[in-house]
Amino acid sequence: MTTATTPTAPIGTRAHQPAGVPVHRPSGRAGFASAVRSEVTKITSVRSTYWSLLVLIVVTVGIGAAAGASAAHSASGPSFDPTQTSLYGLVFGQLIIAVLGVLTVTSEYSTGMVRTSLTSMPRRGTMVAAKAVVLAAVGLGTGLVASFGAFFAGQELMGHHINATLGQPHVLRAVIGGALFLAVSGLLGLGLGLILRHAAAAICAAVGLLFVLFILALELPSSWRVGTWVPLNAGSQIWQTVAPAASTHMLSAWTGFAVFCGYAAIAVIGGLILFRKRDA
């Protein structure tokens, strides 16, 4: 306990005013821009953010390098996609950013901070929008570092006979798309966090949606076309440059990404509706 300072001076910035204290009310109201500044402070002032983003970059780039090195010896055929190969790490990167998205919400619930936050900013839609924008920006920024890092590391280790360059068709779209994929994965996690409110439950749901569905779909006959709509399959089309064989029934790059965004939008909007309705 620090030393007690018994306030003798007036508490606020004003002098003694016995007949009621007037409230200083600037024009306008506490709004979106202020909420965004607050959320930036929140996400940048806890260590776990830096750790998880660092792990995200290391894992994504590391897997890209490993995949590149391995492809240098084994890659062949017209269906080989050097860009996609170097970006395989995004499959794990998306899980890390989804967990960060989950935690931006559930850590407020587990600590009780959500009630303190809402007494400073009671407009819940504004708060969620600010959280989403900040998380998406963090996901995009980190994603660009991870995606470009993985691409360059992977191509370097693949060797010049098979590797891709940014100037080739679709390559730049795929690499930037990898970052977009991560940003949207984070939003999916945020939405799940809002819906479920508990980290363990929301992380399980994220793993289920992003991984388990993907694995389950592999077990089903491709003629059922379930795999087409699995989030990971739909979302990952944006980071390939060679369209998959028609027999796999995959969506095109942007259509697939739009479907992936749709899942995230359902989670975030569903979460927002519940967040507004529930007692905090």
Give me the residues that bind another protein (CB under 8 A), please: 1-7, 10-14, 16-26, 28-30, 34-35, 37-39, 41-42, 45-48, 107-108, 111-113, 115-123, 279-280
Judged by CB, which is closer to another protein: 67, or 132? Answer: 132
Burial (0-12, 13-18, 19+ Cβ within 10 Å), 262: middle
Tokens representing residue 129 in the block: 């929008």
Burial (0-12, 13-18, 19+ Cβ within 10 Å), 214: middle
Closest distance of CB 278 from another protein, Å:
9
CB 52 within 8 A of CB 96: yes
Closest distance of CB 43 from another protein, Å:
9
Closest distance of CB 117 from another protein, Å:
8
Judged by CB, which is closer to another protein: 28, or 221? Answer: 28
Closest distance of CB 208 from another protein, Å:
27
Judged by CB, which is closer to another protein: 29, or 160? Answer: 29
Q: Determine the residue type at 150.
A: A
Q: For the chain, percent helix, then strand, then coil, each to nearest 5?
A: 70, 0, 30
Judged by CB, which is closer to another protein: 34, or 222? Answer: 34
Judged by CB, which is closer to another protein: 7, or 167? Answer: 7
CA distance linking residue 27 with residue 3, whole number of Å: 39
CB 59 within 8 A of CB 89: yes
Closest distance of CB 16 from another protein, Å:
6
